[in-house]
Structure 1
Amino acid sequence: MSGAQGAPGAPGTPFVPGTSCRRRRLAATAGGGEIPCASTGVHVRSLTEGLVAHGLRVTVCAPYGAEQAYGFTAAGAQLAEVGHTAAHSAAAQPPSVPRNAALASLPGPLHTDAETVLALRRACADADLVHAHGLHAGLLAAMALGRRRRHVPLVVTWHTREHAYGAHRGLVRLLERRVARAAGVVLGATTDLVDLARRRGARDARLAPVALPFPEPRSGSYDQLSADPDAAAKVRAEIGAVDRPLLLAVGRLDPLQGHGTALTAARAWRGLEPPPLLAIAGEGPRRGVLQARIDAEALPVRLLGRRDDAFDLLAVADIALLPARWEARSLLAQEALRAGVPLVASAVGGLPELVGDAGLLVPYADADALAAAVTGLLRDPGRRESLATAGRARAARLPTEDDTVAHVLSVYDELLTR
């Protein structure tokens, strides 16, 4: 029996929050000392559950506060808390409203303090394999393993791309090179991340099927709203979209999400009859700037703030918008496809391979193209219906959580039997 698939009680334990090890022990670490962005945390939790179901003992190394947000122990993992407290983390936000950005710790301070590295080193002391989720987590895992990397394989999954400016750009490039060369295998969530890892010197970089679990049904959920016209009408009235089309965007209010482009496009929608309302669910540092512009230009846009039911709102939306600068496997895009809601998104990162022809892709930061795509869909019910059908079919073919677990186990087996 390979070390990657040892039964309970076999030497080794899987480790999950950004770095994972196995004894045959697996350790995983996520977030690199800070609470991981939501899609990464959700993936790590899902992967943990799958590994445990296959008889692995998993230890997840996560920052303080991550357990409350993602429930790694409920998935069957042991927990080793490392890094900084939630009070020091700008990413302390539950998975209902994703950050859709790179790790919160970058391009800011790297937090590679000795205490965090030593804590990871202790947690991985008996590990046979370490799996780090995220660039910063990969750096910390490499530092914690040190010379043991010759005998303990390091797998690093790149879920997203770092965006840095000025002097930070060179720092991020150095970080990418260090992590790519330290890993036995780099798993990229998108083709462009795999290409980047190879350019940075990765010995072995592969595309990984990163599946995200869909939310559990609850009161007021998507399925319930879809089946209850009165409840849906009530939600639309609450948002302010009575007798007018509703456009929905979900994401953290930061520059990477492209909300400024959406606001510029909204100028063109004012001339439509009736004018559609753009509702944006999420919080972040750009809220004040965006709200000031909405008020000054009298734009048909409403900031909803943080919503636990953000993705359920797709049940009452006519079109989903994703004007981000970069996305890997966007939660909003996947949910929109599954729900059969026409999607207009930036043609960036992993979105073209995720969406295919089941959505409309426009150049990033091109407000005219975004406005034209939305206007065209609003005027063409037949096109909206065809995209809805294509989206559902596309969603049915996306990798499942079982696919993700099977792929990761095959990588572990390969590394542990070399």
Structure 2
Amino acid sequence: MRVLMVVGRAAGGVGAHLDGLVTGLRAEGHDVEVATADSTAEVFGWDDAHLLWPVHAGARSPRGLVDWHRIMRLAGTVDLVHAHGHQAAVVAAVAVARARPRPRLVVSLHNDLPPATGSVRSRVPVEVGRRAVGWALRRADLVTGASDDLVVLAESLGARRTELANVPSTSVAGLLHADRLPPGERARLLTGAGVPPDRPVVLTVSRIAPQKDLTTLVAAAGSSRAAASWVVVGDGDARLLTRLEEEAHGIREQGPAEGAATRAGVHFVGARDDVPGWLRLADVFVLTSRWEARALVVQEAMAAGVPVVATRTGGLPDLVGDTGVLVPVGDPDAVAAAVDRLLADPAARARLGTEGRSRAAAWASPEDEARRWTERYVDTLSG
């Protein structure tokens, strides 16, 4: 089977999922090609990817026109085109509509559409984009959502055939059997990142992006009464990071003092290639996103046996279940209270960590999901 994957700029979970899926499909003997933006190919080391992304090249620019022509021609050489994300759905739908012979089209939704709020001027691009995505989904032979609410969204936009498709993390298997980081390694990792090694760690692994609502995280750290270090691993929007660091500036660390409340410290340590080590030393994992589907990093925290505090949004309630603490979106006091309760109760942390790890052990592996995708492709081609 020949499959063309189409994805735009993706530096986080979507790209990581696609990387694992391509690997799994190729291992099964399928011929899989990828068309993507230059930046995405660089992040994931896709040396054989077709660097075709007309959206950011400018649809009417010389390069944009060339990219459109090339991706349409490429679509005509495969059995099936699989688009990942909203913009990729539109690009792939246009390419498939013009391709000869016409391949089948599959679209996977990984994120919610932005809300049409604000002034009329600001709403117009969102509404136009929503109509374009709806057009693409109606042309697709199959639309999958990474969470139930995305399946509902696809149906509301007119998708003819929909299905829930879980997105597994390739790191879960290794973390399921990994012990806590030994004290010496823990101290070296924390000290090397400028984080005090003598207190509990409240960990967040996240892109620096508005969707992640790290403003709520910083405010929660300021409200926390526990003597803990809050650590954010990840990079992204430089201007947003500067603002977050300014907001966190007044949150100073001090040891427990008689009769005085302690204040948490917030450490932005940037992108790291040792995330499993951070998960193995964390005492609590926190994700304050405004919306998530099936967040890979929450899967990984659960597999590592770290109790999770996450917002009650998107696919997170189904993912976490009763093995973690769910809090309202945008409520720093609720986040701080949940963290403080867990840090004050080692037995509760151990129980939730064990239950989360057991839940993670029952999930399908990336290899299982690759085989499931082969079945979906076969069904789509024969339908």
Q: Which residue of 2 aligns with 1:387?
A: 352
How does the TM-score come out when normalised to structure 1? Answer: 0.79
CA contact (8 A) 1:256 1:325 kept: yes
CA contact (8 A) 1:222 1:312 kept: no
Find the residue that maps to 2:202 and give its secondary structure.
strand
In structure 2, relative to structure 1, the CA distance for the partners of 1:276 and 1:111 (3 Å cut) is farther
1:410 matched to 2:375: yes
Q: Distance in 1 between matches of 2:41 and 2:247?
A: 37
CA contact (8 A) 1:134 1:158 kept: yes
How does the TM-score come out when normalised to structure 2? Answer: 0.86
- Of 45, 70, 88, which aligns to 1:137? 88
Q: Which residue of 1 aligns with 2:142?
A: 185
Q: Which residue of 2 aligns with 1:253?
A: 208
Find the residue that maps to 1:176 and give its secondary structure.
helix
Q: Distance in 2 between matches of 1:115 and 1:372?
A: 54
CA contact (8 A) 1:209 1:407 kept: no
CA contact (8 A) 2:232 2:268 kept: yes
Find the residue that maps to 1:296 and give its secondary structure.
coil
CA contact (8 A) 1:61 1:123 kept: no
Q: Which residue of 2 aligns with 1:9?
A: none
Alpha-carbon distance, 1:374 to partner: 0.7
Q: Distance in 2 between matches of 1:240 and 1:405?
A: 39
Q: Which runs of 5+ in 2 are unaligned?
A: 253-263
Q: Distance in 2 between matches of 1:255 and 1:144?
A: 31
1:45 matched to 2:45: no
CA contact (8 A) 2:307 2:349 kept: yes
Provide, for residues 338-364 of structure 1, a one-character-per-residue CA deviation record: whole Å limited to 9, x for no partner: 100111000111111111111111110
Q: Which residue of 1 aligns with 2:37?
A: 63
In structure 2, relative to structure 1, the CA distance for the partners of 1:266 and 1:257 (3 Å cut) is same
1:170 matched to 2:107: no
Alpha-carbon distance, 1:266 to partner: 1.8
In structure 2, relative to structure 1, the CA distance for the partners of 1:306 and 1:225 (3 Å cut) is farther
Q: Distance in 2 between matches of 1:410 and 1:222?
A: 27
Q: Distance in 2 between matches of 1:261 and 1:44?
A: 30
Q: Which residue of 2 aligns with 1:342?
A: 307
User: Counterpart amino acid of 1:143?
Assistant: V
Alpha-carbon distance, 1:79 to partner: 3.2
Alpha-carbon distance, 1:224 to partner: 8.0
Q: Among the aligned pairs, what percent are the same residue?
A: 33
Q: Which residue of 2 aligns with 1:103?
A: none
Alpha-carbon distance, 1:327 to partner: 1.0
User: Counterpart amino acid of 2:10?
Assistant: P
CA contact (8 A) 1:222 1:314 kept: no
1:330 matched to 2:295: yes
Output aligned runs, 1:1-400, within 5 Å: 4=1, 22=2, 26-31=3-8, 35-72=9-46, 79-83=49-53, 113-146=64-97, 148=99, 151-164=102-115, 165=117, 166-167=122-123, 168-214=125-171, 226=180, 228-238=182-192, 239-269=194-224, 271-272=225-226, 275-283=227-235, 284=237, 285-298=239-252, 300-400=265-365
CA contact (8 A) 2:302 2:360 kept: yes
CA contact (8 A) 2:24 2:367 kept: yes
Alpha-carbon distance, 1:185 to partner: 0.5
Find the residue that maps to 1:186 and give its secondary structure.
strand
Find the residue that maps to 1:140 and give its secondary structure.
helix
Alpha-carbon distance, 1:65 to partner: 3.9
Find the residue that maps to 2:76 and give its secondary structure.
coil
Q: Distance in 2 between matches of 1:47 and 1:340?
A: 25
Q: Distance in 2 between matches of 1:79 and 1:415?
A: 24
In structure 2, relative to structure 1, the CA distance for the partners of 1:110 and 1:296 (3 Å cut) is farther
Aligned length: 361
CA contact (8 A) 1:223 1:315 kept: no
Provide, for residues 72-122 of structure 1, a one-character-per-residue CA deviation record: whole Å limited to 9, x for no partner: 46xxxx53221279xx79xxxxxxxxxxxxxxxxxxx88894332212112
Q: Distance in 2 between matches of 1:307 and 1:267?
A: 25
CA contact (8 A) 1:225 1:316 kept: no
Moved over 6 A (4+): 109-112, 221-225
CA contact (8 A) 1:232 1:316 kept: yes
Alpha-carbon distance, 1:213 to partner: 1.0
User: Counterpart amino acid of 1:27?
Assistant: L
Alpha-carbon distance, 1:151 to partner: 4.4
Find the residue that maps to 1:261 and give its secondary structure.
helix
Q: Distance in 1 between matches of 2:162 and 2:364?
A: 19
In structure 2, relative to structure 1, the CA distance for the partners of 1:356 and 1:222 (3 Å cut) is closer
